[in-house]
Amino acid sequence: MIPQTTNQGFVMTEAGTPGVAYGLRGVTVDDTRICKIIGEEGRLYYYGYNILELAERCTYEEVVWLLLHGKLPNKTELAQITKDLKDARGLPFGVRDVIKSAPKTSIPMDVLRTAASALALTDPAPNDNSPEGIVRKAIRLIAQFPEIVAMDYRLRRGEEPVAPNPELDHAANFLYMLHGKAPGKDAARTMDVALVLHAEHSFNASTFTARVIAATLSDMYSAITGAIGALKGPLHGGANEGVIMTLLEIREPANIKPWLEKKFQDKGFRLMGFGHAVYKTLDPRAIVLKKYSKKTGEERGTTKWYEMSDQIEGIMKGREKPLYPNVDFYSASTYYMMGLPPEIYTPIFAVSRVVGWCAHVIEQQAHNKLIRPAANYIGEVDKPFVPMDQR
Ligand code: CMC
C-alpha cells in the first residue's frame, strides 16, 4: 500500500491508522488557555479576546499584563505593569559589552540571541522558577529586548546608544532609542499596534521551542534564547525581512507580474509573507497591518510600497491555489515607511513576541510534562560491526 498524506500532514500506516505527522501538523500536544486560532475563519484570540479589538483598543502594556496574568488589567494593574517595565529598563554592563563586541558583520538576530542569553549571567537568580521569580524574569526580558535591538542598531550605524526615556511607554521608547528623538503620536501608535499584533500566536515554531526547553525544567533565559533562534528562520519571523527585500527587488508596480511569473516557474519558490501553517484564509493581523501600511504611506507621502503590496495580494488571491498574506506581509512596508531598516524587522517581531514566549514558559511549567515525541526509524538494525581496518 502506498502511504497517503492527509491534509493534516499525517501519513497513514498500512493498518490505516495515523502514522508520522510530518511537521507535527494536526497533532495536539497540550492544553492552553493563552491563545486560540481558528484558521479556516481567520480568527485569533489572546485569552479569549479578539485580536482585532485588542489592536484597536489596547496598548502593548495591557497585552503584557493579559498574557502574563490571564486577564485584562484594571487601572491600578496597568499602572503597575507600566512602572515595572520602566523600572526593569537599563541594560547591565555585561550585556552592553556583549553587544559592543559583536562583529559589525553579525546579523541583528544573532546579536539579540546572544544578548538574551547573556542577560542570564547578569541576573542574580536566573534559575528561580518560583511563580514570582518567573514573572520577574519575564518583565526583565520584555523591558530589555527593545534596548538590545536599539543599541545594536545604533552602534552599527556608528551612533551612540540612547538611554531609555522614563517619560515614554514601551513602543514610543523603543522608537526613541532607535532614532534618538521622541516619535510623533502616529508612529508611536503604529509601533504599539504592531507590538500588540505580534505578541502571541499559540504553538508556532518559536513558542513550541520555548515550551520544549521549559518542559525540561530549564530556565526562562534558556527557553527564550532557543525561541529567538527558531524565530530567525525565513519560514517564521525572518519572513518580514524577506518581504521588503522582495518589494525592493521588484522596485516598480509594472515589474510585479513578470517578476512573479518568472519566480513561480521554480516549483520550490516561496513568496515571503504569504501562506500559513494554520490560517487557510486572510490572517487577521494582516488586515490591521494593511490599514497601517496605507496610513503610514499617506502620512509619509509615499504609498508606492503599500500599493505594490496590495497588487501582489490581489494576484496571489487570484491564483488557481490562492495564497493569502500573513502577519509579515504588511508589517514590512509599514516599518519601511517608518524609516526602519530591513535587518531589524525580525528583531522587532522578537521585541513583541517575547511576552508570548514567557507566557507559554509559565503555562508549561505550571502543568509540566517533559516533551518527548517518538520518531519513525527508517534505518537498519543489527548491522554487523565492521572493525576499523576493514572499513
Ligand atoms: N509561496 C509559494 N507557495 C507557497 C507558499 C508561499 N509563500 N506558502 C505555501 N505555498 C504552497 C506550497 O508550495 C505548497 O504547494 P503544493 O501543495 O503545490 O506543494 C502548498 O502551498 C502548501 O505548502 P506547505 O509548505 O505544505 O504549507 P505549510 O503550512 O507547511 O507552510 C509556511 C507554511 C508559512 C511555511 C509557508 O506558507 C511559507 O513558506 N510561507 C513563506 C514564508 C512566510 O511568510 N513565513 C511567515 C509565516 S507567518 C509569521 C510567523 O508566525 O512566523
Which one from 179, 276, 283, 360 is the annotated catalytic residue? 276
Q: Which three cell numbers stand for residue 77?
A: 494593574
Distance from the alpha carbon of residue 276 to the mean position of ligand 1, in angstroms:
6
Do 153 and 344 form a contact (C-beta atoms < 8 A)? yes
Sign of CA dihedral 221, 227, 228, 230: positive
Tell me how far the alpha carbon of residue 327 lies from the centroid of ligand 1, in angstroms: 13
For atom 26 of ligand 1, the residue with the nearest CA is 277
From residue 36, alpha-carbon distances to 46, 173, 215, 318 in Å are 7, 30, 21, 28
Long-range contacts of 42-47 (CB under 8 A, 24+ apart): 42/279, 42/281, 42/282, 42/283, 42/284, 42/287, 43/284, 44/201, 44/283, 44/284, 44/285, 46/199, 46/200, 47/71
Residue 234 DSSP symbol:
T
pLDDT in tens, 32-46: 999 999 999 999 999
Going by alpha carbons, the residue nearest to atom 24 of ligand 1 is 277
What pLDDT digit, counting tens, does each position of 68-94 carry?
A: 999 999 999 999 999 999 999 999 999
For 245-296, the pLDDT digits (tens) are 999 999 999 999 999 999 999 999 999 999 999 999 999 999 999 999 999 9
CATH number for the domain whose boundaries are 31-376: 1.10.580.10
Q: What is the Å distance from ligand 1's center to 208 Cα?
A: 18
Q: Which of 328, 360, 367, 382 is catalytic?
A: 328
> What is the tens place of the pLDDT at every residue in 41-62?
999 999 999 999 999 999 999 9
State yes or no: pLDDT of 1 exceeds 80: no
- The tens digit of pLDDT for each residue in 340-380 reads 999 999 999 999 999 999 999 999 999 999 999 999 999 99
Known catalytic residue at 328: yes
Q: What is the pLDDT of residues 231-249, one digit of tens each?
A: 999 999 999 999 999 999 9
pLDDT (tens digit, 9 = 90+) per residue, 156-182?
A: 999 999 999 999 999 999 999 999 999
Nearest residue by C-alpha to atom 44 in ligand 1 = 273
State the closest ligand 1 atom to the C-alpha of 231, by its place in the atom list counted from 1: 52
Between the CA of 273 and the centroid of ligand 1 the distance, in Å, is 9
Confidence of residue 19 (pLDDT cuts 50, 70, 90): confident
Instruction: Please tell me the residue having the least CA distance from ligand 1 atom 50.
Output: 236
Retrieve residue 246's grid coordinates.
522582495
- Mean of the per-residue pLDDT values of the chain: 95
